[in-house]
Amino acid sequence: MTLKLNQKDCHNTLTEFISEDDTPVIALVGMPNSGKTTLFNTLTGSNFKTSNYPGATVEYSTGKLNEEYGLRANIMDSPGIISLNPSSPDEEIAIDGLFNNPKFGVADVVIVTCDVTQLSRQLFLVNQVISTGYKTIVALTMNDLLDKKQIYVDAEKLETLLKCPVIKINSKKKSGIQELIKTANSVYKETDHSIYKTLIHKPPIPDIEDVARLYDYTEEIEQKVIKHSKREIDLDVINKNTFKSLSRIPDAGSLKLDKYFLHPFWGIIIFVISMGIIFTSIFWIAQPLMDLIDSGFSDLSTLVTEILPQNTWYSDLITNGLINGFGAVMVFVPQIVILFIFLGLLEDTGYLARAAMLIDKPLTKFGLNGRSFIPMLSGFACAIPAIMAARTISNRRERFLTILVIPLMSCSARLPVYAMLLAFLVPPGKPWIGGIGLGALYFFSIISGAVTAGIINKFKKTNEKSTFMLELPPYRLPVFRHIFKNTYYKALIYVKQAGPIIIVFSLVLWALTFFPNQEPVIPPEKTAGLTEEAVTHLKESERLNTSYAATIGKYVFEPVIKPLGWDWRIGVSLISAFAAREIFVSAMAITFDITESEDNEDNFQKSILGSMREARSPDGTRPLFTTASTIALIIYFMFAMQCLSTVAVARKETGSWKIPLIQIGLFTAMAYIFAFITYRGLNLIGIH
* Whether the predicted pLDDT of 13 surpasses 70: no
pLDDT of residue 551: 82
pLDDT band at 302 (very low <50, low <70, confident <90, very high): confident
Q: pLDDT, tens digit, for every residue of 646-655?
A: 787 788 778 7
Least confident of 111-115, 172-176, 669-673: 172-176
pLDDT, average across residues 406-428 = 83
Least confident of 19-28, 188-197, 337-346, 478-487: 19-28
- What is the C-alpha separation between 196 and 567, in angstroms, rounded? 70
pLDDT band at 318 (very low <50, low <70, confident <90, very high): confident
Contacts of 254 (CB under 8 A, 6+ apart): 350, 472, 474, 475
pLDDT band at 66 (very low <50, low <70, confident <90, very high): confident
Burial of 683 (0-12, 13-18, 19+ CB in 10 A): middle
* Whether the predicted pLDDT of 270 surpasses 80: yes
Residues of the chain with CATH 3.40.50.300: 7-228
Task: Specify which residues 29 forms β-bridges with.
Answer: 112
Sign of dihedral through CA atoms 536, 538, 541, 547?
A: negative
* Whether the predicted pLDDT of 15 surpasses 60: no
Where are the alpha helices (H) located in 15-79, listed in sequence order? Answer: 36-44
pLDDT, average across residues 499-503 = 69
Strand-pair category, 166-168 with 136-141: parallel
pLDDT, average across residues 483-492 = 78
* Whether the predicted pLDDT of 47 surpasses 70: no
Q: pLDDT, tens digit, for every residue of 199-241?
A: 788 887 777 777 778 878 888 888 888 887 665 555 444 444 4
Question: Mean pLDDT for the chain?
Answer: 77
* Whether the predicted pLDDT of 606 surpasses 80: no
Judge contact between 367 and 383, C-beta under 8 A.
Answer: no
Which H helix or E strand runs over 137? strand 136-141
- Could you tell me which residue, 580 or 291, shows the higher pLDDT? 291
* Whether the predicted pLDDT of 166 surpasses 90: yes
pLDDT of residue 3: 39
- Most confident range (mean pLDDT) of 58-72, 330-344, 525-539 is 58-72
- Most confident range (mean pLDDT) of 26-40, 246-260, 277-291 is 26-40
pLDDT, average across residues 348-361 = 79
Judge contact between 97 and 81, C-beta under 8 A.
Answer: no
pLDDT band at 245 (very low <50, low <70, confident <90, very high): low
pLDDT, average across residues 92-113 = 84
Task: Specify which residues 75 forms β-bridges with.
Answer: 26, 63
- What is the C-alpha separation between 98 and 129, in angstroms, rounded? 10
* Whether the predicted pLDDT of 90 surpasses 70: no
- What is the C-alpha separation between 515 and 366, in angstroms, rounded? 51
- What is the C-alpha separation between 354 and 42, in angstroms, rounded? 27
- Most confident range (mean pLDDT) of 148-152, 273-277, 553-557, 562-566 is 562-566
- What is the C-alpha separation between 452 and 94, in angstroms, rounded? 31
Least confident of 42-51, 68-77, 189-198, 256-265: 42-51
- Most confident range (mean pLDDT) of 162-166, 377-381, 647-651 is 162-166
pLDDT, average across residues 337-342 = 79
Q: Which CATH superfamily is domain 7-228 in?
A: P-loop containing nucleotide triphosphate hydrolases (3.40.50.300)
pTM beyond 0.75: the answer is no
What one-character DSSP code corresponds to residue 244? S
* Whether the predicted pLDDT of 324 surpasses 90: no
What one-character DSSP code corresponds to residue 323? I
pLDDT of residue 9: 42
Burial of 364 (0-12, 13-18, 19+ CB in 10 A): middle
- Most confident range (mean pLDDT) of 137-141, 234-238, 560-564, 639-643 is 137-141
The amino acid sitting at 275 is: M
pLDDT, average across residues 100-113 = 87
- Most confident range (mean pLDDT) of 225-234, 327-336, 356-365, 635-644 is 635-644
Angle at 172 between CA 166 and CA 175, to 5 degrees: 45
pLDDT, average across residues 395-413 = 84
pLDDT of residue 297: 80
